[in-house]
Amino acid sequence: MADSTATVPDTGDDEDSLKRSITGAQLFFYTLGDVLGSGIYVLIGLVAAAVGGAFWIAFAAGVTVAAITGSAYAELVTKYPQAAGSSLYVQKAFGNKALTFLVTVSFLSASFAASGSLATGFASYFSQLFDGGGPPALIVSLVFVAVLVLINFIGITESVVMNMLMTFIELTGLVIVMIIGIWYIAEGNADFGTLTDISVSGNPALAVLAGVALSFFAMTGFENTANVAEETIDPYRSFPRSLIGGMVVAGVVYVLVSMAAALTVPVDTLAESDVALLEVVKQGILPFSTDLMTTIFTVIALVAITNTTLVTLVTQPRILYGMAREDVVPGVFARVHATRRSPWVGLLFSGLVVGTLLVTGYAVTAAGGGIDLVNRLALVTVVFLLVIYALVIATCLKLRGQDEDERAFRANTPLLVLGLVGNLAILYYAVYDDPASLLWCAGLLAVGVVLYLLEQLFGGRSAPRPGTASQTPKGDL
């Protein structure tokens, strides 16, 4: 286990390290693509149902708290440009293996839940290509995850390049929505009073907070960027610009798209739809064939969700890889494929867990469990990540004065304190609003308990020694 105050070497030339091959531009689109695709295409209807026509406020508040948290990540990444992200930072701050392991498992659990939520959202959009029919949603979700696992196996550079291409496509879809909003306004049909309408019963502030808890899922994904730090060229310059810049751009787009949706589609229609953003296109506002536009936008939405899920699946095995090298999880997860340089053990394990989560979710729904699987898994993701985000901010403040490097980014301290309070407030309400989500959290944590027991039973690092056929060679992971 690394000492919490040790100076972290640049491992870029280590024979047992990952290759630095990701540029600053690739990292920007890696962040932007992950954030943009994760929520606006899948959860916008749920946020509208929670808040009303003013649901854009929830997105604005969510992106503010998330961006502050992102600045803490930027500082820590530039101090410790290695794989493992939040787990590494917590270990260096507190030197507690149990806490580090808990953070690792929580992050993995959040990532697994997010993949499940997105895969379910993918199936909902996919059914639109068949007028609501087509293959069973569970089969579509499972095949979707399996294909992305295969792409991930090919290698990180291929995955990042594909991510960039899909980011441009998903941006096109969001631009279409904004154009529809502008067209609608230009025709003089917009009722701007909708943008201030919190039409749900109860306390308006609590309604917005409920929306923020859901919309926060849309801003998650930026933490995935930290886990490719060891594969980034010049992380000291690239990370602050790419991470925070990508989040700000995504946040502005979210607010504008939310306004366009609220102005062009009745809030009730958005709230009741599994493909709420597609409802904007179905209004037939643009002077083009509505059926053609619906098909085009559906394909774009599928690409957007694929983009985010791909990045999420890239992250999962790399967390396992990084922490296996720190002796926190079994060393087998540090193995990479001899020719593809991919962390294949962690990748297969990740695909299996996400698949199991999907099967369980669909089984509960079929048995009359009365849950919205997308909503439930999104909230599970948010609960895990808010705990981690709050801890990362605290870690950032605690590590001030340690391992200082003049090249490192330094976040604004008062803003970090504000971000800490914001994360905790959203966490409290998310759990209060849906306490059953804690049962799902416990189930995912149980996976981590199994890993912990395996590590305790077999102990130490079990990764291959240098010179063996399966060691981590220099090359593109």
pLDDT in tens, 40-72: 888 899 899 889 999 999 999 988 998 899 899
Do residues 81 and 10 touch, judged by C-beta distance below 8 A? yes
pLDDT of residue 72: 92
Measuring CA to CA, how many Å separate 215 from each of 138, 308, 438?
25, 15, 19
CA distance readout (Å), 420 to 218, 317, 386, 388, 417: 19, 28, 9, 11, 5
**Amino acid 419: pLDDT:** 94
Q: What is the pLDDT of residue 134?
A: 82
Question: What mean pLDDT do residues 316-327 have?
Answer: 77
d(CA 228, CA 315): 8
The pTM is what? 0.81
Q: Which tens digits make up the pLDDT trace of 6-48?
A: 333 444 444 445 566 677 778 887 777 667 766 788 889 989 9
Q: Residue 190 and residue 192: Cα distance in Å, rounded?
A: 6
- Give the C-alpha separation, 234 to 25, whole Å: 12
Q: Measure the CA–CA gap between 168 and 161, rounded to whole angstroms.
A: 11
What tokens does 405 get? 């490097």
Give the C-alpha separation, 12 to 409, whole Å. Answer: 20
Minimum mean pLDDT range among 73-87, 391-405, 423-437 = 73-87
Choose among 3, 69, 142, 73: nearest CA to 382: 69
What local confidence, expressed as pLDDT, does residue 222 receive?
77
- The two three-digit tokens of residue 261, written as one number: 């949706």
Burial of 5 (C-beta count, 10 Å sphere; 0-12/13-18/19+):
exposed
Burial of 363 (0-12, 13-18, 19+ CB in 10 A): exposed
**What pLDDT, on a 0 to 100 scale, did the predictor assign at position 262?**
95
The token duo for 229 is: 């730090």
Tell me what pLDDT residue 4 has: 35
Tell me the DSSP string of 56-79: HHHHHHHHHHHHHHHHHHHHHHHH
Sign of the dihedral through C-alpha 55, 311, 146, 131: positive
Provide mean pLDDT across the span 191-207: 82
Query: Is residue 176 over pLDDT 70?
Result: yes
Measured between alpha carbons, how far is 11 from 382 in angstroms, rounded to an integer? 32
pLDDT at 10: 44
pLDDT confidence band for 463 (50 / 70 / 90): very low
| pLDDT score for 472 | 34
Question: Given 1.20.1740.10, 1.10.238.10, 3.90.105.10, 1.20.1730.10, which CATH number is that of 24-458?
Answer: 1.20.1740.10
- What average pLDDT does this structure show over 158-167? 70
Specify whether the CB–CB gap between 408 and 236 falls below 8 A.
yes
Judged on CB neighbours under 10 Å (0-12, 13-18, 19+), 465 is exposed
Which tokens go with 400? 């001030």
Query: What is the structure's pLDDT at 80?
Result: 81
